[in-house]
Structure 1
Amino acid sequence: MFHWRADILPGVSAAFTNVDAGNLALHVGDDPAAVQGRRARLEQSIGVAPQSLRFMNQVHGTTVALMDTESAAPEADAMVSRRLPLAVMVADCIPVLLAGESGDGPVLAAVHAGRPGVANGILPAAVERMESLGATRIRAWLGPSICGACYEVPAALRDDVAALVPATRSTTSWDTPALDLPAGARSQLEAVGVDVEYTGACTLETETLYSYRRDRHTGRFAGLVWCHD
């Protein structure tokens, strides 16, 4: 069910699912009841309360939503919370999980960092929101995503994004223009003092992960961050 899972702070865990957990997205034409069933099994497997895991309606924007117990699924590409378990869904974009410490306990974030999000600064925005809640010593875990040797884009698009985030400039393994989103994300996080603790595998090259570039009718796996006793 998990591609990677670890305790990342005292009382805080993070994980990235794989295809064994099944598709976790409601927007890809899957049976909604089946998706909800998989989400329920996922909650049980990580030991959180039923229907407590918060998902986003991801739109490749820069909105960071502050979540509490009454929050419904926001239209956003980042969520920040003190106690609620958070999820981000991807199939080539980067699922980024963040955790920091504060006087009131851990501060968590889950971020959907695709090409527009990296270019427009969704990660620094999420870090800023965490810091507004008193978070310090923030660390990040970058889940599986398409790598800089596989993410082919038109030359003009590479130039546009690299003008904003220079570390994204890349070339595919077959020598065409590409973007390295994990490198761009890492550079943005390091610029605001956040250490990157983990970077996952390439989704396009890993059959046990969903990849939109490999199959346009694919599902979505998830990055998860949650508190536990």
Structure 2
Amino acid sequence: MFWWEGHGPGDLRVAFTDTSAGNLALHVGDDAGAVQRRRRALEEHMGVQPGALQFMEQVHSPTVAQVPAAARDRDAEAAPPVADALVSSDGSVPLAVMVADCLPVLLAGTSTGGTPVTAAAHAGRRGLLDGILPNTVQAMRDAGARSLAAWIGPSVCGRCYEVPEAMLADAAHLPGAASQTSWGTPALDLPGAAALQLSALGVSVIRLPGCTMEEPALFSHRRDAPTGRFAGLIWHRQTKEQKLPVSRR
């Protein structure tokens, strides 16, 4: 079910799913009931309460949404936040970002009191160029986070992400973005650019392997459109005695 799984500060867990977890998106023409069953199976595998995993409506923006910590502060009938990053100021809410070529970026830090601060960001080409990652880092620091770490998950790589010359020129202000495909045409290296940008912001970066165009175990919109979405996840694994707030996507 997981392409990769690891640990963050304290008892935080970070992971990225693969195609064995199935499509987790409701917006790609899949059966909604089947998607919800896959999400529940994923939550069970993660060890969190059913319905606790917080998704967002991703729109390739630089917008960051704060996720309320307690169930009483959250409207069970509310639509998911329209944003491209989620921040949990106390790390209590399991966060998800869905992708199929764009960058899934998970972040964690700790406040001066020892409270975890977590985030999940969707860094597509437009969002990355418009500042979704600096905005996410700033929102986490505004919430008290220090010693930030980021995990950049599988995405289309700089050898495969072919773009027109105009798109390459549009990214000229982003260090590390310019690339060339393995067949010699203009390309963008989004994970490389994201790593440089985060490092410049003082964030410790872990880049995980896996090009979505090259790996059949990962969904790729460029390769297989229409296709599903896999997820980047950051959460606390819960004991049976613990309960997480429930949210509706």
Quick check: TM above 0.5?
yes
- Which whole-Å CA distance do the structure 2 matches of 1:152 and 1:142 have between them? 20
- Which whole-Å CA distance do the structure 2 matches of 1:142 and 1:199 have between them? 6
> Which 4+ stretches in 1 moved above 6 angstroms?
none
- Which whole-Å CA distance do the structure 2 matches of 1:117 and 1:10 have between them? 30
CA displacement 1:170-191 (0-9 Å, x = unmatched)? 0000000000000110111011
Could you list the runs of 5+ residues in structure 1 that have no partner in the other structure? none
CA displacement 1:184-218 (0-9 Å, x = unmatched)? 10111011100112323100000000000101111
Q: Does 1:213 align with 2:222?
A: yes
Q: Does 1:131 align with 2:138?
A: no
Q: Does 1:106 align with 2:113?
A: no
**AA aligned opposite 2:228:** G
Decide which moves more: 56-65 or 1-10. Answer: 1-10
**AA aligned opposite 1:223:** G
Deviation at 1:104, TM superposition (A): 4.9
Q: Does 1:144 align with 2:154?
A: yes
Could you list the runs of 5+ residues in structure 2 that have no partner in the other structure? 239-249
SS in 2 for 1:117: helix
TM-score (normalised: structure 1): 0.97
SS in 1 for 2:221: coil
The 5 A counterparts of 1:1-229 are: 1-68=1-68, 69=71, 70=74, 72=78, 73-81=80-88, 82=90, 83-102=92-111, 103-161=113-171, 163-228=172-237
Instruction: Kindly tell me the number of residue pairs found equivalent between the two proteins.
Output: 228
- Which whole-Å CA distance do the structure 2 matches of 1:5 and 1:154 have between them? 35
**AA aligned opposite 1:127:** V
SS in 2 for 1:150: coil
SS in 1 for 2:199: helix
- Which whole-Å CA distance do the structure 1 matches of 2:144 and 2:122 have between them? 22
Q: Cα RMSD over matched residues?
A: 1.0
Percentage of identical aligned residues: 56
